Amino acid sequence: MTRKKTTFVPLQSVTVLDPFFSRIQDTVIRTMIPYQERVLNDEVPDVPASHAIRNYRIAAGLETGTFYGFVFQDSDLAKWLEAVACSLAVHPDKALEERADAWIGLVEAAQQEDGYLNTYFTVAEPEHRWENLADCHELYCAGHMIEAGVAYYQATGKDRLLKVVCRLADHIEKRFAGEGKPGIPGHPEIELALMRLYHLTGERKYLELAKLFIDRRGQKPDYFRQEREQSSWQKFNYSMKASRYYMQNHLPLREQTSVEGHAVRCMYLLTGAADVAAETEDEELMEACRRLWKNMAERRMYLTGGIGSTGYGEAFTRDFDLPNDSAYAETCASVGVCFFARQMLEAEPSRVYADILERELYNGTISGMQLDGTKFFYINQLEADPAMSGEVYGTEEYSPERIGWYNCACCPPNLARLMTSLGGYLWSVEKRTADDEKSGGENPGTKAGDIAKPAAGSEDIIYSHLFIGNRAKLPAAGGVEITLTGNYPWEGDFTYEVNTEAEEAYFTLAIRQPAWCSPLSIRWKDEAGNIHSGENFSDGESGRLCSGGILRGEESLRFEDAGGYWLLRRKWHSGDTVQVHMELPVRRVYADPRVKADAGCVALMRGPVVYAFEGVDNGENLSACRIPKDAEIRAFEYDPDLLEGVVRLEAEGRRAVPADDFLYSPEAPREVPVHLTAIPYYAWCNRGKTQMRVWMRE
Amino acid sequence: MTRKKTTFVPLQSVTVLDPFFSRIQDTVIRTMIPYQERVLNDEVPDVPASHAIRNYRIAAGLETGTFYGFVFQDSDLAKWLEAVACSLAVHPDKALEERADAWIGLVEAAQQEDGYLNTYFTVAEPEHRWENLADCHELYCAGHMIEAGVAYYQATGKDRLLKVVCRLADHIEKRFAGEGKPGIPGHPEIELALMRLYHLTGERKYLELAKLFIDRRGQKPDYFRQEREQSSWQKFNYSMKASRYYMQNHLPLREQTSVEGHAVRCMYLLTGAADVAAETEDEELMEACRRLWKNMAERRMYLTGGIGSTGYGEAFTRDFDLPNDSAYAETCASVGVCFFARQMLEAEPSRVYADILERELYNGTISGMQLDGTKFFYINQLEADPAMSGEVYGTEEYSPERIGWYNCACCPPNLARLMTSLGGYLWSVEKRTADDEKSGGENPGTKAGDIAKPAAGSEDIIYSHLFIGNRAKLPAAGGVEITLTGNYPWEGDFTYEVNTEAEEAYFTLAIRQPAWCSPLSIRWKDEAGNIHSGENFSDGESGRLCSGGILRGEESLRFEDAGGYWLLRRKWHSGDTVQVHMELPVRRVYADPRVKADAGCVALMRGPVVYAFEGVDNGENLSACRIPKDAEIRAFEYDPDLLEGVVRLEAEGRRAVPADDFLYSPEAPREVPVHLTAIPYYAWCNRGKTQMRVWMRE
């Protein structure tokens, strides 16, 4: 039941060929990754010194000096190495690989005899290893390096870093596994990393250690309090000021009912937990993951996918508390949602997860980077005012523009690894045996006679989760290659072209219909040249379905209500195509009235893209503008010259004008017509400092 | 030109007899003042220890121990003594006076040989006197004790504390006046206090020292930076983190164009500056006061009179930045606006100042106290949610309920002294000589023959600034007593009854027509028994006038556009009455569209009273409610049993209801009718923790 239903097709089998994301991947590979390497090596003059690589050199004894940076500075290099691994998987680059090999050599050299690896403690306070798990991020840094080791091996076949991280994981296992060896990480990450190492190596101890860290969380007595009381070393004590919620330590995860505390920590924890739950068939834990997903997606998420609405603790607050101007919505938190979504989607394919994943990819993650890949947002507000952000005491963290680097530089490399690993988010395969078939269950089109000769793999289902153009080699039905082409998110037509290794292959192609999309129609030809089609209406974001699919001849098409996927089960030959058509009208979107900040307001979306209004197009004081209910909203043709290519929207709105010198007046402000232009949210702030709003009064 | 046009009639000459404020004064006198004394003396078990009196005992050598509390803890006793003085002036109380005398003896005992008085430095760090003016509040505490000394002398005729504070002021004068003795207070207050001492004693050196502190402010080099650099004593350094704006030290006051920084400091500074400007006929300085008043009142003030919209530095932010839920609007800052308003009003009578003074008195000041006088708000939000305030990390300062005392206990005694000194805000008198008359100018009704026999004082103008019921002895036209009776703010009818010491008296009675009030009508009988009347329309808050007054016979009535006062000039006899009638309809009020937080919203007022909607009456999730433009709003009869007596409002509104489980939906939320009730803002949160909003969507 909780075993993963599907397995994601790895990055290495997928080539992203997408007008939208290939440009971004290219920017990441050509600009961000080399830029970040130079930052980590302190070669960029105008950004805060990173010192990350120098810390490793000092720890390795290759240089003298003192540690500099955050106690989690190591993780920047780890995330960068992971991004490089993903980059090499999709775009081989000998020179980059050689340099990465050299940095890996440095990491290896910084590892201690006993497997321990952390430059802060090695350089600065070797006597205090593992003494302050609440604040010191040792397990967090270890987790990131483990992820890098796994990714680098998968991308290049080279196991030098993998061996380093196995020794590190073994060291951690010795230190924490078993009775009398308490401890949990202040910042979750190790759990999901250990699971990745387990999936690669098959070493069950890594799975068990991940599970241990998850199960120990939120137990009494409070581990963090204990370690604080037992240690005289109180150098770092940020966590003292934070509540137990901050580190998701307020309750055992299985008992938690809402996502709480530091949003990135929460997402990383849940990603690891969902993996452990599926792998160990732990239904209770999986149910907790579903419950927390639901709370997050239905109560605590911005329209853009942003989570963690306050900068205080970079944290969740309360259900429906989603202020736009003080939105924190850290880029890393949105990246974390992608991890969690992918994990849930793999276990139980459903658009409940895939729609949010898509929301993140087209909005809340990529808003974190400038279009040219050189500057970044850590915070992703949904309403911004350069006269306030960073200007008024108390808004220091809110930058009115993306900036070149951050002292706390978690977000840029996190984006780099997400964007380079995109290919790994597109397809997952459900392998079904004849036994699966006999036991009934959720198999589509099971009418007798549908499929003449069931063969090995004939019941496999290939899930297409996202509409990102790509060519993928799929381990199903004896080997299938599918090419998806289109111009999403700007256009709603795309084509799946199938090539089979065998002369013919039976399998089911599952295509997601986003909840906001209605209708979605599918057309394909059968062997005899007859055209088949299906169409399905849903009522938008709410995801309720109005009609099912159709079924003809030996081929079958069915819409699976529960998951929100079309299932097209047939005999395929090389060259077969499936045409998908989605309508992409501009949609007015409303928030639940319990969201105070959005009361009386409307936002505009088209496909998965959330739109925003900028001062540069609409004049300042955007809060004085509104889009009346009856105002027509026009989507323009795709403009390749605007913001690296976007579809912009226009509407005839109204703007309230100040009447006189009086702050308060018995007369409602007079309104004048105003021509409003909206651009995709992710592309805001690429034309200088300007006001911005997603939600407009209606 | 800048010399004060009028002089306020002192508290001692006015007896407040007002259904609204007498109750509050009574609460302050019977409950707050004794309660605060017990707090200051550490006799109340469940509130934070004050230690204020013990600090004095230790400084006086009567007790051993260490200083405890804020470095400005002394000011709490000083403000309390000032409140006692005002209380004794309006309500003699021998036992209280005896206790106050004893505390004054203690203060005297704590004063040092050289006149220095500050328990922190005397007890804890005598070697660091005057070394850190930025943070240490020595001049601030001195200022408050000087105010207390002046008030206590005026109320009781006893000069013991006055002598103490004269010695203190002399000590300060020696330390700071003259070349090579730099220094300005981090927290203004000494300036206005020295002016009070100057007005009482006539000692010009106090005026000159006040002027010096004002003129030195904002000069280069930055004094605070200098003192920091020159001292190795860095114990207190809050100001280091704050900008020069925080302490109004960014520019010379004469060059400042907007109210900036810590709102209370700014108000205290401007109160002193306005006094100095008028007294020294310094038009440049007075013009700066007018300019800053205008910026405050027209750009940076909440509808309730609250100022300082952010808790970061308890400060002003930007023009039109007036968020409701994170409004800081410190009680003390509203009290400070009253001081500043009174000073400006005295110099140049105008409803520009008096309307705001009234706004503060009926809203933003008294919202700081529970109706029973035992609990207090430091922060006065215009929108509150107990699920957030104090509950969510980052909102610690925002209490969902008034509390018994504050560690930083500036507000409760500040309210106590304001409420007990209310009598001093009601009347001011412009003494006019025959010379004034000859030189022309702004004298009303100067037609030849209007007044048959001009006598001494016949050109005096008595300004009635507020409609608070009272009986006052006025030093005009040879001695006049006026009794004002009414039931304001609930009813708009009131009567002025005049008694003259002479058989007849010539003078002008000036009655303010608030800008929001239209029409206001006035009726009176002349000697012959003929009834005269005048009526004036204005278009509400904006204050534009639609008609002038009328003029009949030897009596003259004129509406003075510039100041917004009716001027009734006539021959008066004892027993003469003037009837005033104001319409008090419920008013919908709108904010300038540049106020983002209020866009699309309406607030309700009636008379000077701002209304608020509470969850306890209207259900939670108030942001889902709105008051459509065409909804009728009813004002109920005065209800003596509700909230110590209020007029409540009701309207038929609409409430958006959550539609389904989806956070975002393509359908606008469905609305249902909702019966909405509003109560006066100042009275909110007297029926338990509840949501509250002033601004409602329209």
B452-482 pLDDT per residue, tens: 445 556 789 999 999 999 999 999 989 999 9
Polymer length in residues for chain B: 698
pLDDT of the residue at A548: 39
- Could you give the CA distance from residue A265 to residue A187 in angstroms, rounded to a whole number? 6
pLDDT of the residue at B239: 67
**Is the pLDDT assigned to residue A440 strictly greater than 50?**
no
**Is the pLDDT assigned to residue B33 strictly greater than 70?**
yes
Neighbours of A180 (CB within 10 A): 4
CA–CA distances in Å: residue A592 to residues A316, A319, A337, B385:
18, 11, 21, 17
pLDDT of the residue at B520: 85
A233 versus B651: the higher-pLDDT residue is B651
Angle, vertex CA A557, rays to CA A551 and CA A562, nearest 5: 115
**Is the pLDDT assigned to residue A449 strictly greater than 60?**
no
Q: Beta partners for A505?
A: A572
pLDDT of the residue at A408: 75
> H or E segment at A443?
none
Summarised one tens digit per residue, pLDDT across range A473-482 is 999 989 999 9
pLDDT of the residue at A519: 80
Q: E strands within B583-632?
A: 586-591, 601-606, 609-614, 625-626
Comparing A132-146, A527-541, B297-311, the range with the smallest average pLDDT is: A527-541
For residue A106, give the nearest of A74, A144, A130 by alpha carbon.
Answer: A74
Summarised one tens digit per residue, pLDDT across range B17-32 is 999 999 999 999 999 9
CA terminus-to-terminus distance, chain B: 46
Mean pLDDT of B551-556: 49
Comparing A192-206, A355-369, A660-674, B172-186, the range with the smallest average pLDDT is: A660-674
Q: Which residues in chain B are closer than 8 Å to A242, comparing Cβ atoms? A: 393
Q: Across the interface, do B590 and A297 touch by the CB < 8 Å criterion?
A: no
**Is the pLDDT assigned to residue A405 strictly greater than 80?**
no
> Which A-chain residues 296-315 have CB contacts (< 8 A) with chain B?
297-299, 301, 303, 310-313, 315
pLDDT of the residue at B233: 83
**Is the pLDDT assigned to residue A690 strictly greater than 70?**
yes
Locate all alpha helices (DSSP H) within A204-330, ordered by sequence.
204-216, 223-230, 238-241, 263-279, 283-299
| Tokens of residue B278, six digits | 């008028």
CA–CA distances in Å: residue A429 to residues A337, A611, B313, B407:
21, 33, 57, 62
Which residue is it, tokens 């009064």?
A697
Say if CB A322 and CB B325 are below 8 A apart: no
Q: Note whether A551 contacts B: Cβ–Cβ < 8 A.
A: no
Q: Note whether B664 contacts A: Cβ–Cβ < 8 A.
A: yes
Q: Across the interface, do B590 and A666 touch by the CB < 8 Å criterion?
A: yes
Q: Across the interface, do B656 and A599 touch by the CB < 8 Å criterion?
A: yes
Summarised one tens digit per residue, pLDDT across range A150-188 is 999 999 999 999 999 999 999 999 999 998 999 999 999
Burial of A215 (0-12, 13-18, 19+ CB in 10 A): middle
Say if CB A629 and CB A698 are below 8 A apart: yes
Q: List, by residue number, the catalytic residues of A.
A: 314, 410
pLDDT of the residue at A187: 96
Q: Across the interface, do B592 and A394 touch by the CB < 8 Å criterion?
A: no
Q: Across the interface, do B669 and A592 touch by the CB < 8 Å criterion?
A: yes
User: Residue A212: CA atoms inside 13 Å, Cβ hemisphere, count?
Assistant: 20
CA distance B528 to chain A (A): 41
Q: Which long-range contacts (CB under 8 A, 24 or more apart) does A498-502 make?
A: A498/A572, A498/A573, A498/A574, A498/A575, A498/A576, A498/A577, A498/A578, A499/A574, A499/A575, A500/A572, A500/A573, A500/A574, A502/A477, A502/A478
Mark residue B440 as left, alpha or beta (left: phi above 0; alpha: psi -120 to 50; beta: remaining).
Answer: left
Say if CB A315 and CB A263 are below 8 A apart: yes
Summarised one tens digit per residue, pLDDT across range A578-620 is 999 999 999 999 999 999 999 999 999 999 999 999 999 999 9
Q: Which residues in chain B are closer than 8 Å to A596, comparing Cβ atoms? A: 325, 385, 621, 623
Which residue is it, tokens 């997400």?
A418
**Is the pLDDT assigned to residue A640 strictly greater than 50?**
yes
Q: How many CB pairs under 8 A join A and B?
A: 185
A142: three-class secondary structure by DSSP: helix
Rg of chain A, C-alpha, whole Å:
26
Summarised one tens digit per residue, pLDDT across range B80-138 is 999 999 999 989 999 999 999 999 999 999 999 999 999 999 999 999 999 999 999 99
CA–CA distances in Å: residue A694 to residues A38, B236, B607:
35, 43, 38
pLDDT of the residue at B448: 39
Q: Note whether B7 contacts A: Cβ–Cβ < 8 A.
A: no
Mean pLDDT of B250-261: 97
CA–CA distances in Å: residue A586 to residues A22, A517, A605:
25, 11, 6
B614: three-class secondary structure by DSSP: strand
The topology (CATH level 3) of B450-582 is Immunoglobulin-like (2.60.40)
Say if CB B287 and CB B216 are below 8 A apart: no
- Could you give the CA distance from residue B134 to residue B186 in angstroms, rounded to a whole number? 4
> Which A-chain residues 394-453 have CB contacts (< 8 A) with chain B?
394
| Tokens of residue A570, six digits | 């047939």
For chain A, the structural domain boundaries read 7-423, 450-582, 586-697
CA–CA distances in Å: residue A537 to residues A660, B159, B661:
51, 88, 19
Comparing A131-135, A409-413, A538-542, B391-395, the range with the smallest average pLDDT is: A538-542
Angle, vertex CA B441, rays to CA B440 and CA B443, nearest 5: 85
Strands B601-606 and B609-614: antiparallel
Mean pLDDT of A665-688: 96
Q: Across the interface, do B315 and A393 touch by the CB < 8 Å criterion?
A: yes
Say if CB A45 and CB A108 are below 8 A apart: no
Summarised one tens digit per residue, pLDDT across range B334-392 is 999 999 999 999 999 999 999 999 999 999 999 999 999 989 999 999 999 998 887 78
Q: For chain A, what is the largest distance between any 2 Cα atoms, rounded to a whole number of angstroms?
A: 83
A449 versus A279: the higher-pLDDT residue is A279
- Could you give the CA distance from residue A144 to residue A197 in angstroms, rounded to a whole number? 11
Give me the torsion for CA of B381, B386, B387, B393, rounded to 10°. 60
pLDDT of the residue at A434: 56
Q: What percent of chain A has pLDDT over 90?
A: 77
- Could you give the CA distance from residue B433 to residue B474 in angstroms, rounded to a whole number? 17
Say if CB B92 and CB B28 are below 8 A apart: no
> Which B-chain residues 209-238 have CB contacts (< 8 A) with chain A?
none
When pLDDT is cut at 50, 70 and 90, the band that residue B449 belongs to is very low
CATH class of this structure's domain A7-423: mainly alpha
Q: What single-letter amino acid sits at A657?
A: V
Interface probe for B, chosen from A301, A546, A592 (most Cβ of B below 10 Å), is A592
Say if CB B289 and CB B353 are below 8 A apart: no
**Is the pLDDT assigned to residue A196 strictly greater than 80?**
yes
Q: Beta partners for A255?
A: none
pLDDT of the residue at A554: 43
Say if CB B500 and CB B479 are below 8 A apart: yes
For residue A518, give the nearest of A459, A581, A469, A600 by alpha carbon.
Answer: A581
pLDDT of the residue at B258: 97
Comparing A106-110, A457-461, B607-611, the range with the smallest average pLDDT is: A457-461
Mean pLDDT of B653-668: 89
Are A7-423 and A450-582 equal in CATH topology?
A: no
Residue B274 phi/psi, 5° resolution?
-65, -35
Q: Note whether A64 contacts B: Cβ–Cβ < 8 A.
A: no
For residue A520, give the nearest of A482, A451, A467 by alpha carbon.
Answer: A467
Which residue is it, tokens 């200098």?
B226
pLDDT of the residue at B202: 96
Which residue among B394, B602, B664 places its CB closest to the CB of A303?
B664
Interface probe for A, chosen from B243, B664, B694, B696 (most Cβ of A below 10 Å), is B664
**Is the pLDDT assigned to residue A648 strictly greater than 60?**
yes
Mean pLDDT of A370-388: 93
